Amino acid sequence: MTVPVPDAAIQEARYLLRAVPQGALATIMRQSAGAPYASLVLLASDHDGTPLLLLSDLADHTKNLAEEPRVSLLLDGSAGHEDPLAGARLTLQGRLETTAEPRHRARYLARHPMAKLYAGFGDFRLWRMAVERGHLVAGFGRIHWLPGERLIGPEAPALRDGEADIVEHMNQDHGEALQLYATRLLGRAAGSWQMTGIDPDGLDLRSGSATARLAFDAPVTDPGAARTALIQLVARARAAAQADEGSG
Q: Residue 52: which CATH number?
A: 2.30.110.10
The reply to whether 32 and 131 lie within a common domain is: yes
Q: Which of 116, 151, 186 is the last residue of a domain?
A: 151
98: which residues sit within 8 A by CB, 6+ positions away?
125, 126, 127, 128
pLDDT at 43: 96
The CA distance from 58 to 39, in Å, is 13
| Maximal C-alpha separation, the chain | 65
Query: Do the beta carbons of residue 185 and residue 217 sit within 8 Å?
Result: no
Q: In which domain, by residue range, is 144 found?
A: 7-151
Beta strands at 143-147 and 124-137: parallel, antiparallel or unpaired: antiparallel
pTM above 0.95, yes or no: no
For residues 112 and 39, is the Cβ–Cβ distance under 8 A? Answer: no
Calpha distance 37→44 (Å, rounded): 21
Residues 26 and 65 in one domain: yes
Using CA atoms, how far apart are residues 206 and 22, in angstroms rounded to an integer? 15
Pair (136, 166) in one structural domain:
no
3-state DSSP call for residue 192? Answer: coil
User: Is 100 a member of any domain?
Assistant: yes
Nearest to 71, CA basis, from 100, 121, 29, 104:
29
Same structural domain for residues 239 and 170? yes
CB 184 within 8 A of CB 237: yes
Q: How far apart are CA 10 and CA 75, in angstroms?
A: 15
Mean pLDDT, the chain cut into blocks of 10 residues (248 residues total): 76 95 95 90 96 97 96 92 86 98 96 95 97 92 91 92 96 96 96 96 95 94 97 95 74
Please give the pLDDT value at position 83: 84
2 part of a folded domain? no
* Domain assignment of residue 26, yes or no: yes
Q: Tell me what pLDDT residue 79 has.
A: 82
Beta strands across the sheet bearing 210-215: 194-199, 202-207, 210-215
What pLDDT score was predicted for residue 33?
83
Q: How many domains does the chain have?
A: 2
d(CA 95, CA 78): 25
The per-type count for the chain, helices as H runs and strands as E runs, is 7, 10
Report which of 136, 169, 112 is spatially closest to residue 16, judged by C-alpha positions: 136
pLDDT of 34 reads 85
Answer yes or no: do 205 and 242 share one domain.
Answer: yes
Identify which of 2, 1, 44, 55 has the alpha carbon closest to the alpha carbon of residue 21.
44
